[in-house]
Amino acid sequence: MCLHGCGIRVQVVDGVALKIEGDPTNPDNLGKLCPKGNAGLSRLYDSTRVLHPLKRTNPKKGPGVDPQWKEITWEEAYSTVARELGRIRAEDPRKLLCSLGDFQRILLWGWPAAFGSPNFFTSLGNYCGGSYHPVNGSIDGSFAAVNDYEYCNYWIQIGSGDGFSAHLHLSGSAKRMADARMRGMKVISLDPRCSIASAKADEWIPIVPGTDRAFVLGMAHVLVHELKRFDREFLRDRTNAPYLVTEDGNLYKDAGGKAQVWDTRAKAPRSWDAVPAADMSLEGTFTHHGRNLRTGFQVWKDMLSSHTPEQMSEVTTIPAETIRRIAREFVDAAQIGATIEIEGKTYPFRPAALNYYRGSQSHSNGLFDNLTYKLFNMLVGNIDVPGGHLGVPLDHRGFFVSPGEDGMLKPEPHQLHPAPPFKYPPDSTHLMEWFPIGFDAGQLNTETLLNPRKYGLNYEPEAMLIYHANPLWNMPETDKVEKIMAKMKFVVTIDIQHTDSTEWADIFLPAHTYLESYLLNCLEPPAVTGHALRQPVVEPVGDTRDAFDILTELSERLGFLDDWNDLLNMVCGFVAKPKYLLDPEKRYTPEEFWDIYARSVYGEDKNLEWFKEHGHAVRYRTAEETYMPYGSLRIPFYLDFFKRTGDEMRKKFDEVGLKDWPVDNYQALPFWKNSQVIEDGKDGYEYYAITFKESLHTFADTMVMPWLSEVSDKDPVHGGVLINPVTAKKLGLRSGDRLRLTSPAGSIEGNAQVVEGIHPQVVGVSNTLTRYVSTNYRSKDRGTHFNRLLTGAMKYTDSATGGLESTARVKIERIVV
């Protein structure tokens, strides 16, 4: 149902599913379930679920406009879609916009590419992973990251719910977090709001949104300049921190192109592989042939000199002494120099780590944020070692490990698809060709589709395919999204229930739930690896179909079944095991497909029948798979790869006349600079607005599920605009008062909820109850729609990664009713 795919068992009596329980044999979730997992039945049997294909009969479209649905046959639905999309595909396949969700079926996200469209019309994933995943991939070939639950003793949690309410595989992680706390692990939580993690932490430190990086830079200053305590051996022996950097920021290389280090014996630069690590200088400024050189570490050390706790305190509002104290506690707990033996092998032991996610890095300088947190962890040498900050692979294939330049691990910023080559005019409406190290900046559609010529687009989309996604809710600047939707001549949606976006559809194709369909699931498990099978536990409800089958049927009717099968061959890795390659001309059922998939991964013995009987092949990752899986390859401390990419992009933009297109965030090292959100404060937007989710509603469109909806209704945190008593008093507000929040992008209304647990400069808006329009009665008029406060404009987008800004500056007004 959501990204994580916990192992479950379903009690079925007389063909009716009665209860869902965690599978105790699955080490991923350890028999535990979150509220979503428990509530799955309320989706399966929801009375508002769409059970037959629907055709719109009201030609008028708009927010709140009743589509006047009419039930039709699958044949009529398919033939209508094939006719409309066939016309588009014949003219120019790029005219199809695709909005894709359902993280578990991530392979279906390839369907638009088989159709011929590069377009990605959603911000799904970019609110949290836009900058996060590229930096993880560039540092250690991982996709995500989390601290080591088993060995960590001191856990700094910044803008994240790991182990408490969200992010990686919550059910198992909550158990692992609880076990770690029982053995004495200390948790420090930084968050503008007293989140679940903050409430349960040993210490909650309220912080101004988007300034987490400043707090960490201040701590880095303390370690490097004040305490002078950092893991010199790790930085020197395991990273490129000792590699020499020239005045222009590039690595200093010899005529053969090899990176140079400063040889302390020869007192001269030499190739990195010609000098024993012990003789490399980690710090220092040198001159050679008239060039001023510094080590990569020295460059950051010099940058950090201006990031004193006092200066960072002004940015974050956190007292300088707190920054110093946490830094001291952290480095004390890190036990620099310690080792531990696991499974017969000795590893460095660094039981202190900083963990982070959406709240601390989904900002317009997200690349800087992510780099700061990685480098801070590197200062104590805790990356991918027991107790430290561990990379988490995308799936069972593990870390992306291949040798790069100069003894380094090759950076892999794009793990979901190869980096697109620069192109002008661009093919994609979200300009993916302009972000070679970023993910897909779907929010840019709000700019490009309303001004296509400005961005060089030489076509305009006319149709939309929405698969289990809700761009009208998900995208920023809803007014613009409505204008874009209104321009579409044809919209088809594949979903289970009505959403804000399905209301705009011409054809609704109703899909199976996860309790009625097949899938081998394996995504970002933090401690384990392997697949779990989801399989039908009951007969499908209504005249619904498997989404895999729906898209395969459309491929066949549109005449590209061969390309669809070939795309699946690539996505599923069958190309690496040719005996499992799908026949391009054959139509595969979901069962046939997943049987091939199972055998391709696990061999002939573990086919679909095996999984039907055993449920899963999930096991704990070994120490060798978990700790430093890249062996002796160095990981980057100085990200010259980013800097070089930025230089190349500047040239390309200049060559096509895009001289104002920003590339300023392509930097090798992070530092503090104000974001546009902070600058907006100068225009009278005094307060910050943030949004948050809880475990009830992460990674899934669960808002309409009755059980979860009921729980949310009873939690006052979700019902209003959270505001601190000091701020409320200043503004003359009491709980229940109606107020308006206005950002540079838009305004929303809500009811004040006065609570102590939020920073005085901040208002918090739950994103749980914010569906603003839908034919589903449970999700109608249920509060404020936070994303209206955000904007997809480039100045609120990370110029290197395409990551979007998830915080807004707002003015607050009381509305007198």
Contact between 569 and another protein (CB under 8 A)?
Answer: yes
Judged by CB under 8 A, does residue 278 bind another protein? no
By CB under 8 A, tell whether 369 contacts another protein: no
Among 34, 222, 522, 571, contact with another protein (rule: CB under 8 A):
571
Nearest Cα to Cα of residue 677 among 806, 811, 812: 806
Instruction: Quote the tokens at residue 466.
Output: 């929405």
- With contacts defined by CB under 8 A, name the span among 161-169, 384-392, 583-591, 807-815 that binds another protein: 583-591
Shortest Cβ distance from residue 433 to another protein (Å)? 9
SS (H, E, C) 203-261: EEECCCCCCHHHHHHHHHHHHHHHCCCCCHHHHHHHECCCEEECCCCCECECCCCCEEE
Distances (CA, A) of 312 to 207, 304, 316, 353, 671: 11, 11, 6, 21, 11
Smallest separation (angstroms) from another protein to the CB of 440: 5
- Residue 401 contacts another protein per CB under 8 A: no
* CA 523 to each of CA 106, 140, 391, 529, 647: distance values in angstroms, whole numbers, following the listed order: 9, 18, 13, 9, 34
Q: What is the CA radius of gyration of the chain?
A: 26
Nearer to another protein, 63 or 116 (CB): 116
Q: By CB under 8 A, is residue 566 in contact with another protein?
A: yes
Angle at 623 between CA 621 and CA 628, to 5 degrees: 110
CB contact set of 373 (below 8 Å; sequence gap of 6+) = 158, 213, 216, 354, 356, 360, 361
Minimum distance of another protein from residue 523's CB (angstroms): 12
Per CB under 8 A, the list member of 92, 482, 563, 749 interacting with another protein is 563
- Number of amino acids touching another protein (CB under 8 A): 44
Stretch that binds another protein, among 32-40, 285-293, 435-443, 609-617 (CB under 8 A): 435-443
Taking alpha carbons only, the member of 631, 150, 141, 160 closest to residue 392 is 141
Which position among 67, 118, 210, 792 is part of the footprint of another protein (CB under 8 A)? 118
Among 15, 290, 344, 418, the residue binding another protein under the rule CB under 8 A is 418
With respect to another protein, which residue has the nearer C-beta, 319 or 584? 584
Q: Is 467 in the site for another protein (CB under 8 A)?
A: no
C-alpha to C-alpha distance for 742 and 730, rounded to whole angstroms: 18
Binding part of the chain for another protein, among 64-72, 120-128, 334-342, 695-703 by CB under 8 A, reads 120-128
Query: Looking at 123-131, 221-229, 242-250, 773-781, which segment touches another protein (CB under 8 A)?
Result: 123-131
**Which residues sit opposite 203 in a β-bridge?**
188
Examine residue 425 and say whether the peptide bond preceding it is cis (omega within 30 degrees of 0): yes
Length of the chain: 817
* 80 Cβ neighbours under 8 A, 6+ residues apart: 55, 506, 507
Quote the tokens at residue 434.
């302009």
Q: Which stretch binds another protein (CB under 8 A): 22-30, 52-60, 373-381, 410-418?
A: 410-418
Question: Quick one: which of 16, 278, 486, 576 contacts another protein (CB under 8 A)?
Answer: 576
CB of 107 to another protein, least distance (A): 8
Cβ atoms of residues 251 and 295 within 8 Å: no
Q: Which is nearer to another protein, 192 or 413 (CB)?
A: 413
For the window 664-693, what string marks contact with another protein as x by the rule CB under 8 A?
A: ------------------------------
User: Which residue stretch of 116-124, 314-322, 497-505, 701-709 sits at the interface with another protein (rule: CB under 8 A)?
Assistant: 116-124
Q: Which of 439, 518 has the CB closer to another protein?
A: 439
Indicate which single residue of 34, 106, 354, 790 sits in contact with another protein (rule: CB under 8 A).
106
Asked if 578 interacts with another protein (CB under 8 A), we say yes
Stretch that binds another protein, among 79-87, 289-297, 434-442, 505-513 (CB under 8 A): 434-442
Residue 143: C-alpha distances to residues 357, 529, 536, 608 (Å): 12, 14, 30, 27
Q: Is 535 in the site for another protein (CB under 8 A)?
A: no
How far, in whole angstroms, is CA 764 from its chain's centroid? Answer: 21
- Extract the tokens encoding 364: 């317009």
Measured CA to CA, the distance from residue 248 to residue 278 in angstroms comes to 27
Select 181 or 423, whichever has its Cβ closest to another protein.
423
Closer to another protein by CB, 81 or 572: give it.
Answer: 572
Other residues' Cβ atoms within 10 Å of the Cβ of residue 380? 29
CB 406, CB 280: distance < 8 Å = no
d(CA 375, CA 637): 7
What is the number of other CB atoms lying within 10 angstroms of the CB of residue 639? Answer: 25
Instruction: Please classify residue 495 by burial: count the beta carbons closer than 10 Å to its beta carbon, then call 0-12 exposed, 13-18 middle and 19+ buried.
Output: buried
Q: Which stretch binds another protein (CB under 8 A): 183-191, 372-380, 509-517, 563-571?
A: 563-571
Q: Which residues does residue 676 pair with via DSSP β-bridges, in sequence order?
A: none
Would you tell me how many other CB atoms lie within 10 Å of the CB of residue 346? 9
Q: Which of 82, 199, 581, 731 binds another protein (CB under 8 A)?
A: 581
Tell me the closest approach of the beta carbon of residue 568 to another protein, in angstroms: 9
Q: Which residues contact 674 (CB under 8 A, 6 or more apart)?
A: none
**Region of 68-76, 102-110, 672-680, 789-797 interacting with another protein (CB under 8 A):** 102-110
The residue from 29, 104, 122, 445 that contacts another protein (CB under 8 A) is 122
Q: How many Å separate Cα 451 from the centre of its chain? A: 27
798 binds another protein (CB under 8 A): no
With contacts defined by CB under 8 A, name the span among 107-115, 156-164, 203-211, 300-308 that binds another protein. Answer: 107-115
Binding mask 124-143 for another protein (x = CB under 8 A): xxx-xxx-xx----------
Please, what is the minimum distance in Å from the beta carbon of residue 474 to another protein? 11
Q: Considering only CA atoms, which of 35, 800, 634 is closest in space to residue 297?
A: 634
Q: Which of 273, 583, 683, 713 binds another protein (CB under 8 A)?
A: 583
With contacts defined by CB under 8 A, name the span among 153-161, 310-318, 513-521, 575-583 that binds another protein. 575-583
Smallest distance, Å, CB 726 to another protein? 36
Where does this chain touch another protein (CB under 8 A) — which range of 115-123, 319-327, 479-487, 526-534? Answer: 115-123
Least distance between another protein and beta carbon 760 (Å): 32
The answer to the question of residue 439 lying near another protein (CB under 8 A) is yes
Pick the closer one to another protein by CB: 329 or 563: 563
Applying CB under 8 A, among 16, 90, 486, 575 the residue interacting with another protein is: 575
Q: Could you tell me where the DSSP H helices lie in 92-168? A: 111-115, 132-140
Q: How far is the CB of 97 from another protein (least distance, A)?
A: 12
**Euclidean distance between CA atoms 63 and 481, whole angstroms:** 11
Tokens of 779: 């999700």
Judged by the rule CB under 8 A, the positions of this chain that interact with another protein are: 100, 103, 106-107, 109-110, 113-114, 118, 120, 122, 124-126, 128-130, 132-133, 416-418, 420-421, 432, 439-440, 442, 562-563, 566-567, 569-571, 575-579, 581, 583-585
